[in-house]
């Protein structure tokens, strides 16, 4: 029997865990509770995991483009015990960070000299030891480890193992795919449109994407996504950073601002956008309250 409400082991810039309840209400309002939930820009998977844990959806379909993140989720679903054992044995040091650089050049997870388990462990390692969880960023504490907070400060092994085991208990309800999000949606367009499905799209940010993601989008990619999803008849929801270009691309759709107060990194309230082809609730305000341990670390890293 699956454990209740699994929590993602991954840290992600712009993570959308706060939207879980909002999307659950959208599903209920449109009689979509119990649907298959597609998340073609997977990342941390916080929304679909939350919805699975609450029993709001029957299945989750995941698509991930980054080979290290895909390999991590594959290992969570198919070899969680092996992953947890590897985590226990892993030394969280700057020497390991340097040694693991060989994994960051891998472009295809299935066609490399490394196993998916090795790549998956590397994906988790970089996510938990790099600044803000960014795979391509530098290590917390810097390469000289001269900061008060060192590389292992966000790598809580017992907690990560618990989270991985919790997620793995839902493996029978999750379909995982590797590849490009738009390409996947094109390929399965008929299947998605004829089933009891909902698609949640959380693409790379428009303005800061290059800094946050290894597989960021240029303007043309954002255009391609807007054109494609605008032609689809199945229910979908897109979340984006609030940028004039996004308002322009989705002018024909319903757009609602959401207010995210990450009161650790900044006193400024961030505005993001929810866009859909179905009715969605009016503007809302989310206050993020990270646990005290993580809050202390984030404040120190930013200041």
236-265 confidence digits (pLDDT tens): 999 999 999 999 999 999 999 988 754 434
Output the pLDDT for position 303.
Answer: 31
Output the pLDDT for position 283.
Answer: 63
Residue 50 in tokens: 């939350």
Mean pLDDT of the 137-166 span: 94
Residue 8 lies in a domain: no
Output the pLDDT for position 296.
Answer: 38
Residue 296 lies in a domain: yes
- For 162-219, how does the pLDDT look when each residue is reduced to its tens digit (9 = 90+)? 999 999 999 999 999 999 999 999 999 999 999 999 999 999 888 776 666 776 788 9
Output the pLDDT for position 294.
Answer: 44
Residues 6+ apart with CB under 8 A from 265: 298, 299, 302
Tell me how far apart the terminal alpha carbons of the chain are, to the nearest angstrom: 44
Residue 87 lies in a domain: yes
Beta bridge partners of 123: none
pLDDT at 297 over 60: no
Rounded CA Rg of the chain: 19
Element holding 186 (H helix, E strand): helix 181-187
- For 73-94, how does the pLDDT look when each residue is reduced to its tens digit (9 = 90+)? 999 999 999 999 999 999 999 9
Residue 12 lies in a domain: no
Residue 168 lies in a domain: yes
Residue 2 lies in a domain: no
Output the pLDDT for position 258.
Answer: 86
Output the pLDDT for position 246.
Answer: 95
254-262: strand order across its sheet: 174-178, 57-64, 35-39, 197-201, 236-241, 270-276, 254-262, 284-288
Residue 169 sits in a domain of what CATH number? 3.40.50.150
Tell me the pLDDT of the chain averaged across its residues.
Answer: 88
Distance CA 257, CA 237 (A): 13
Query: Which residue segment(s) compose the domain that 289 sits in?
Result: 17-302
With pLDDT > 70 as the criterion, what percentage of the chain qualifies?
Answer: 85
Are 128 and 154 within 8 A, CB to CB?
A: yes
Distance CA 110, CA 115 (A): 8
Element holding 123 (H helix, E strand): helix 116-129
Provide the domain count of the chain. 1
Residue 3 lies in a domain: no
Q: Which of 61-65, 133-137, 223-227 has the lowest mean pLDDT?
A: 133-137
Residue 249 lies in a domain: yes
């Amino acid at each position: 029997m699956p454990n209740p409400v699994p929590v993602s082991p991954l840290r992600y810039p712009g993570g959308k865990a706060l939207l879980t309840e909002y999307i659950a209400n959208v599903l209920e309002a449109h009689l979509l509770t119990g649907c298959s939930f597609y998340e073609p820009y997977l990342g941390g998977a916080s929304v679909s995991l939350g919805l699975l844990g609450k029993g709001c959806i029957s299945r989750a379909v995941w698509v991930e483009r980054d080979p290290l993140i895909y390999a991590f989720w594959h290992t969570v679903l198919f070899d969680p015990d092996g992953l947890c054992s590897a985590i226990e044995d892993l030394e969280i040091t700057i020497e390991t960070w340097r040694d693991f650089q060989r994994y960051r050049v891998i472009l295809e997870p299935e066609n490399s000299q490394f196993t998916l388990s090795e790549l998956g462990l590397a994906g988790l390692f970089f996510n938990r030891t790099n600044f803000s969880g960014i795979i391509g960023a530098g290590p917390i504490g810097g390469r000289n480890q001269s900061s008060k907070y060192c590389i292992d400060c966000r790598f809580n092994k017992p907690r990560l193992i618990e989270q991985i085991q919790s997620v793995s208990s839902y493996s029978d309800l999750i379909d995982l795919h590797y590849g490009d999000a738009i390409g996947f949606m094109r390929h399965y367009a008929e299947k998605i449109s004829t089933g009891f499905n909902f698609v949640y799209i959380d693409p790379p940010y428009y303005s800061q994407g290059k800094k946050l993601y290894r597989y960021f989008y240029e303007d043309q990619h954002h255009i391609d996504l807007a054109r494609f999803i605008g032609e689809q008849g199945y229910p979908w929801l897109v979340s984006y950073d609030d940028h004039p270009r996004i308002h322009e691309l989705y002018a024909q759709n319903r757009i609602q601002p959401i207010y995210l107060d990450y009161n650790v990194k900044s006193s400024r309230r961030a505005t993001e956008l929810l866009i859909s082809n179905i009715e969605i609730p009016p503007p809302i305000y989310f206050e993020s309250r990270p646990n005290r341990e993580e809050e202390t670390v984030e404040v120190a890293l930013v200041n």
